[in-house]
Amino acid sequence: MGPIRIKSWFKSKHSKLGSDLETQVSKAQNGDECIRHDLLEQYRPFIKKVASKACKRYISESMDEYSIGLLAFNEAIDQYDKEQGNKFLTFASVVIHRRIIDHIRKESRHNYVLLNEEEDEEGNVQENVIERRTSIEKYEIELESKARAEEIFEYQKLLLTYDITFEVLTSQCPKHIDARENAKKIAKVVYENHHIRSYLEEKRRLPVSELEDIVACSRKTIERNRKYIIAMALIYIGNFTTLKSYIEPEGGLK
């Protein structure tokens, strides 16, 4: 096959998946396995790039991390929701990164157990084992910090689609602890109620009248804390695992 044919084949292949990637993803979600296969094939370099970035080293297709990235990309195809406003590749990169980080954490915990077992005959932990254990703990802290930073970045982008900035969120955060906790409970109701959640995602606003009927709050209270409630609900809707720990009963976004 000569250069012209190769170029022509690549061009037709690219145009098949081509200008509207999100439409192709939608077709794959609806059962078009040929398009799904083509997406997985075409975006192999993208998957390797994201996996390598997450691992901070080059990842080849023979490595476990690449396989995890490939599965994560396929998972992203299934979970992608165009209505949330993100481009598919942005969403896919987040899913791949999360799965790779989860894998690294799992491996780190496994290595930590192995290190704990490396003792001398008298039961004393070897000095080099302590050094390696410290290194693993430090690496896990770095991973946690990086994952949190990336989640905050994605969360910020999602908030903007609802016309909410961090500055607005800070200014409209309820001043009293009880009011904050109550707003978080309402946010959980929004997330768990399929109809209200769908309304929020479609209209980008709360169905206040419906909420008033099912929560122990006045319309005035819901309206006053509207943006804060939406922001808390989006943490659940976006499945921001790290941020979610801050809004559970024992924590709170200050």
Selected residue with higher pLDDT from 2 and 103: 103
**Average pLDDT of the chain?**
78
Q: pLDDT confidence of 122, banded at 50, 70, 90?
A: very low
- Residue from 174, 175, 170 nearest 187 by CA: 174
Q: What pLDDT score does 2 carry? A: 42
Q: pLDDT confidence of 108, banded at 50, 70, 90?
A: low
The tokens for 134 are: 């410290």
Q: What pLDDT score does 102 carry? A: 82
Say what the pTM is.
0.51
| pLDDT tens-digit readout, 153-178 | 888 999 999 999 988 888 888 888 88
Q: Which residues contact 200 (CB under 8 A, 6 or more apart)?
A: 190, 206, 207, 230, 233, 237
Mapping DSSP to helix (H, G, I), strand (E, B) and coil, where does residue 125 land? strand
- Mean pLDDT value across residues 7-33: 67
Given a cut of 70, whether residue 125 has pLDDT beyond it is: no
DSSP letters of 167-182?
A: HHHHHHS-SSHHHHHH
**Measured distance CA(97)–CA(153) in Å, rounded:** 13
Q: Note whether 47 and 25 are within 8 A (CB).
A: no
**Measured distance CA(40)–CA(38) in Å, rounded:** 5
Mapping DSSP to helix (H, G, I), strand (E, B) and coil, where does residue 119 land? strand
Q: Which residues contact 119 (CB under 8 A, 6 or more apart)?
A: 125, 126, 129
Q: pLDDT confidence of 241, banded at 50, 70, 90?
A: confident
Given a cut of 90, whether residue 37 has pLDDT beyond it is: yes
In the chain, where the domains are located: 43-149, 166-247
Q: What pLDDT score does 216 carry? A: 82
- Mean pLDDT value across residues 7-15: 39
**Measured distance CA(157)–CA(165) in Å, rounded:** 9
Burial 17-44 (b: 16+ CB within 10 A, else e): beeebeebbbebbeeeeebbebbbebbe
- Residue from 35, 26, 34, 98 nearest 68 by CA: 98
| pLDDT tens-digit readout, 149-159 | 878 888 899 99
Q: What pLDDT score does 29 carry? A: 92
Q: What pLDDT score does 196 carry? A: 93
Amino acid of residue 149: A
